[in-house]
């Protein structure tokens, strides 16, 4: 019992010593932020609006593409694909609503000439567009479509110098068989 109290006492002593040392040491916090000029956008408000409207058109195109895939899945009676596509379609619609709100807010900030708010809304618009692009790729994956298909594959065969193009080469002989000596057993058991 005495031993238990001595162990607890030594831990308590170490704890008190550590806490008193940490209280005596100056707190090292994060470096203060520089108070420089706020970030400025290299894109004007009108260009942001135009780009946002292009993104909105792309979102509408994506929604129509997914709707066509949903209809195809319904006609194929593929419930798994249909559920996956309906999930992506719902997410695209929600992101479209967020895009509409961000475009409206961007329009208001452009009319007020508030550059900080313009940059914020434009960033929201860009992020929503990126999310919708990911959703489009995921919808294509639901269907099983290849997203990186470029075209038909073309095979080009290059013949090394010294070989004739029109003559079949003899098949190589069988590879040499190497005999591997196994080590002796480590124990007789």
How many separate helices (H) and strands (E) can be counted in the chain? 4, 0
97-120 pLDDT per residue, tens = 999 999 999 999 999 988 889 999
Q: Tell me how far apart the alpha carbons of residues 129 and 133 are, in angstroms, rounded to a whole number.
A: 6
Q: Tell me how far apart the alpha carbons of residues 174 and 172 are, in angstroms, rounded to a whole number.
A: 6
Do residues 147 and 141 make contact, with C-beta atoms less than 8 angstroms apart? yes
The strand ranges marked E within 16-148 are none
Best-predicted range by mean pLDDT among 113-117, 125-129, 141-145, 151-155?
125-129
Do residues 142 and 84 make contact, with C-beta atoms less than 8 angstroms apart? yes
Enter the pTM of the model.
0.56
178 pLDDT tier (thresholds 50, 70, 90) = confident
pLDDT at 165: 63
Do residues 100 and 129 make contact, with C-beta atoms less than 8 angstroms apart? no
16-60 pLDDT per residue, tens = 555 555 555 454 445 555 554 555 667 788 899 999 999 999 999
């Amino acid at each position: 019992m005495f031993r238990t109290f001595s162990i607890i006492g030594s831990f308590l002593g170490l704890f008190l010593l550590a806490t008193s040392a940490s209280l005596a040491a100056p707190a090292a916090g994060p470096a203060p932020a520089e108070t420089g000029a706020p970030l400025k956008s290299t894109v004007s408000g009108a260009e942001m609006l135009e780009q946002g409207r292009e993104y909105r058109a792309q979102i509408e195109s994506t929604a129509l593409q997914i709707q066509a895939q949903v209809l195809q899945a319904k006609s194929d009676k593929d419930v798994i694909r249909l559920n996956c596509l309906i999930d992506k379609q719902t997410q695209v619609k929600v992101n479209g609503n967020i895009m509409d709100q961000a475009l409206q807010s961007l329009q208001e900030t452009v009319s007020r000439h508030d550059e900080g708010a313009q940059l914020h809304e434009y960033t929201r618009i860009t992020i929503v567009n990126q999310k919708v692009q990911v959703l489009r790729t995921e919808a294509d994956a639901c269907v099983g479509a290849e997203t990186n298909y470029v075209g038909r594959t073309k095979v080009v065969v290059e013949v090394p110098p010294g070989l004739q193009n029109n003559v079949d080469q003899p098949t190589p002989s069988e590879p040499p068989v190497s005999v591997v000596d196994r080590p002796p057993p480590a124990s007789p058991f």
